[in-house]
Amino acid sequence: MAKSHELHRSDFVKSVVAVLGTIIGGFIAIPGIGYLISPSLKFEASEAWIPLGPLENYPDGTPTLFNFTRTKINGWEKTVNSYGVYVVNHGGNQVTVFSNMCTHLSCRVNWQEDGQIYHCPCHDGKFSPTGEVTGGPPPKPLNVYETKIEDGVLSIHFVEG
Amino acid sequence: MNEDYKQTYHEKYAREKQHGVKFFPDIIFKDMLVSFGIFVLLVGLAIFVGVANEPPADPSDSAYIPRPEWYFLFLFEMLKYFPGQIEWIGTAIIPGAAVVALFLLPFFDKNRSRHWSKRKFAIGFMSLAVLSMVVLTIMAVATTPPQEEVALASTLSEQITLGQDVYSVQCVECHGAEGEGGEIIGVEGLEGVVLDPINHSDIMYTYTDDTLYNIVEYGQPALGMPPLGLAYGGELSRGDITALVNFMRYTWDDRAELPAEAVAASAIPELKPGEVPSYEVHIATLSKRYCVSCHRPNKENNNYLMQSYEEIMTSGDNAPNLIAGDLGSNLIRMLHREEIEAGGPMPPTKELKPEYIEIWERWVMGGMPNTAAEAAAVSTTTTESAPTAPAASQTP
Amino acid sequence: MEKLYTWLDERLGLKTIYDVVLDRKVPKVNWFYTLGSASLFLFVIQAVTGIFLTVYYVPSPDHAYDSIQFIMNGVAFGWLIRGIHHWGATLMVLVVFFHMLRTFYFASYKYPRELTWLTGVLLLFLTLGMGFTGYLLPWNQRAYWATTVGTEIPGTVPIIGPWITSFLRGGPDLSAVTLARFFSLHIWWLPAGIVLLISVHMYLIIRLGISSLPKKDD
């Protein structure tokens, strides 16, 4: 009788140790996981109309590169990200603005006047003047921005996130 | 130490073990209970007390009273009693001796007895040492002067809001409420100087945060801008300047987006029809943003200060500048850009927006209540669903 | 399961470890004897939360303060982890100190446990060292000025004093160099020393057994 009582006590003590240990572990582990992954779950949507200057600055038909920057807070630092767009003025207030980011792995594409293509230097991706993929690995055509023209000034709708 | 002594010890210890318990689970069980208690206490402290927010390190702020962590306070306090040439007795000899004594304790304590009744000297000595540590700690805490309160901003939105306040007090008198610049009026030594706008993208795109910071801290004396940093005779700590730079960046730089919280925090509350504004909610915000920059001590302002309700009501060479129910009060006339005996149009450079002037007028007509509760008591409407005609609100 | 255990035991000697470390007889003791394990527990808590803090903390005067603001406001549970680390430091100093007092009052430092005492005293001072170096890391006013004064104290010692101060600071002033070396001390040197000494301390405890409560005739 005494023996089995002794055994019960020992089992009880062991399970209390296990339960309390698990509680402590859980109280550290669960916030810990949240702590580690929370920056990856947070994205700040960003949206703005970016002025690209008077439309007349852009020559008809030729894609022209325009660079602009956006400031973002990443953790404890302000990051100034640089973006490039190719503006194609079709004349008569018709304009197409392509992102210069390759749809494959986000390298920056260059307009090649002699080949009449946007060429990506990383994996030899090629896009036609209308942004369609004509060669290489890119899965999608170049991204096109929504545009508006107010008082002759061209703006694009920049959306991120 | 003879072999007999060792032998007796081991025999005794073996007997104790015989009557003892198993390390696992008995001892571990007790340990676990205590550790768990400590853990609960720890989590409780972390959740309910937390960590006090402190301003960033500022080597230029010599007014800060240094305090060590509390468990070093007794050492810190002890140094008071070793002035001048004998200082090093307190800083080196006593702590050094204590450390060495503690280390070598088992080697110089030749007393073989273990029971407390046979170790009265050792126990008394240690207790005295601990007691004096406790007393010194208490004395240190009791004699510590309270630290000066500082405005703290931790999140970006709080920074921007604090920066707005700093800007309103320190910069508005020359650079204008929106950084628009223009001719300086009513600032000693800079009268009539015309300033370029600082809210322009030319500035915002080409000046980095560091540049802005330095300009604020060192000033540009050759151009007439005084230094504002504490280290150079100004009033701003590093944290203030950082907040100010963030305010400028996020308000005027079109590449950065002002967080919605910051917009909400610095917005001047809109009045509902029939609502009487209060000093607390409306007027304090307006006067802070548009007036206090000049209307504070040591500025050219006919001694009219506007930093508190009492000051606004009573101070000034031409007091009273505000009379309840009187739209002909000095301040209201000057807001309407009249040139009167008490002075010229206010704010001197740029007219206040009509909706802001209306807030001032409705406040004067409402009897100039101080708190939001007093204002609500005289308002003719309390809910949005029952608006009264605005005209009725003029004569509550 | 059984097979896996046998396989592992054959190679690791799990049974031996269990017998030697856990399944051993010790004298009956009182609740004050839990302070040692509580110190170890707090060290583990400090180590775990400290490792978490290094994920975002940057030991540079430019970013230290901002990175801690980010931990407090920008990351989920960052405030909790820092809160536990902050209060854990205070509790650890208290518990380790009380553990020392317990050992003293119950005369546990006497034969044959002199070396256990020696390592314990070293551990107490290393714990205080952790407190002192960790205090600077948030790079706030309190940290900066307390450490300025704290490193000034050894400077009062005749002849070598000023040199000690500049050694601690890594130069004549409290600077980025000071922050970097305090950080290094706080996360590498001191913890390494603590882990090493805890191992020796524990080995001695297991080898010599927990000291028994002193009896009238002891």
pLDDT, tens digit, for every residue of A82-93? 889 999 988 888
Residues of A within 8 A of C67 (CB-CB) are 75-76
Rounded to the nearest 5°, which phi and psi values hold at A156? -120, 155
Which of B9, B67, B91 minimises the CB distance to C146?
Answer: B67
In this complex, is the C-beta atom of B110 within 8 Å of any C-beta atom belonging to chain C?
Answer: no
Question: Which chain A residue has the Cα nearest residue B31?
Answer: A17
Domain containing residue A2: 1-42
Cα B220–B222–B225 angle (5° rounding)?
Answer: 40
Burial A132-154 (b: 16+ CB within 10 A, else e): ebeeeebeeebeebebeeeeeeb
Residue C49, domain member (yes or no) = yes
Distance from CA of A109 to the nearest CA of B (A): 23
Number of domains in chain A: 2
Domain containing residue C107: 35-208
DSSP string, B30-60: HHHHHHHHHHHHHHHIIIII-----PBP-TT
* Co-location of A68 and A3 in the same domain: no
Structure-token match 């503690």, residue found = B102
Residue C133, domain member (yes or no) = yes
Number of domains in chain C: 1
Interface test with A, best of C56, C57, C72 (most A CBs within 10 A): C56
Distance from CA of A147 to the nearest CA of B (A): 18
Question: Which chain A residue has the Cα nearest residue C66?
Answer: A76
- Do B195 and B175 contact (CB within 8 A), yes or no? yes
* Co-location of A107 and A134 in the same domain: yes
Cα C141–C139–C121 angle (5° rounding)?
Answer: 100
Residue C162, domain member (yes or no) = yes
On the 0-12 / 13-18 / 19+ scale of CB atoms within 10 A, B182 is middle
Residues of C within 8 A of A38 (CB-CB) are 75-77
Which of B28, B45, B115 minimises the CB distance to C216?
Answer: B115
> What is d(CA C89, CA C95) in angstroms, rounded to the nearest whole number?
10
Which chains does A contact via 3+ CB–CB distances below 8 A? B, C
Burial B335-344 (b: 16+ CB within 10 A, else e): beeeeeebbe
**Contact A78/B209, CB-based, under 8 Å?**
yes
> What is d(CA A107, CA A127) in angstroms, rounded to the nearest whole number?
13
* pLDDT of the residue at A4: 62
| Fold that domain B156-266 belongs to in CATH | Cytochrome Bc1 Complex; Chain D, domain 2 (1.10.760)
* Co-location of A3 and A21 in the same domain: yes
In this complex, is the C-beta atom of C145 within 8 Å of any C-beta atom belonging to chain B?
Answer: yes
Residues of C within 8 A of B113 (CB-CB) are 107, 218
In this complex, is the C-beta atom of A36 within 8 Å of any C-beta atom belonging to chain C?
Answer: yes
Residue C27, domain member (yes or no) = no
In this complex, is the C-beta atom of A39 within 8 Å of any C-beta atom belonging to chain C?
Answer: yes
Which helix (H) or strand (E) segment holds residue B361: the answer is helix B354-365
Residues of A within 8 A of B32 (CB-CB) are 16-17, 20-21
Distance from CA of B76 to the nearest CA of C (A): 9
ipTM of the complex: 0.93
Residue C26 identity (one-letter amino acid): V
The percentage of residues in chain C with a pLDDT greater than 70, rounded to a whole number, is 100
pLDDT along chain B (396 residues), means of 10: 85 89 88 95 95 86 83 89 85 91 91 89 94 94 80 80 87 85 80 87 88 92 88 86 90 82 77 82 82 78 83 82 82 84 78 83 85 80 45 38
Residue C153, domain member (yes or no) = yes
Residue C119, domain member (yes or no) = yes
State how far Cα B114 lies from the chain centre: 54
Q: What does each of the 218 residues of chain C score in pLDDT, given as a tens digit? A: 889 999 999 999 999 988 888 888 889 889 999 999 999 999 999 999 999 999 999 999 989 999 999 999 889 999 999 999 999 999 999 999 999 999 999 999 998 999 999 999 999 999 999 999 999 999 999 999 999 999 988 888 888 889 999 999 999 999 999 999 999 999 999 999 999 999 999 999 999 989 988 888 87
Where in chain B are all domains bearing CATH 1.10.760.10? 156-266
In this complex, is the C-beta atom of A35 within 8 Å of any C-beta atom belonging to chain C?
Answer: yes
Check which CATH number belongs to the domain holding C75 and give it: 1.20.810.10
> What is d(CA B151, CA A74) in angstroms, rounded to the nearest whole number?
24
**Contact B249/A46, CB-based, under 8 Å?**
no
**Contact A75/C78, CB-based, under 8 Å?**
no
Of the candidates C32, C37, C29, the residue with the CA atom closest to the CA atom of residue C198: C37
* Co-location of A36 and A104 in the same domain: no
- Do C1 and C7 contact (CB within 8 A), yes or no? no
DSSP string, C144-197: HHHHHHHHHGGGGSTTTHHHHHHHHHTSSS--HHHHHHHHHIIIIIHHHHHHHH
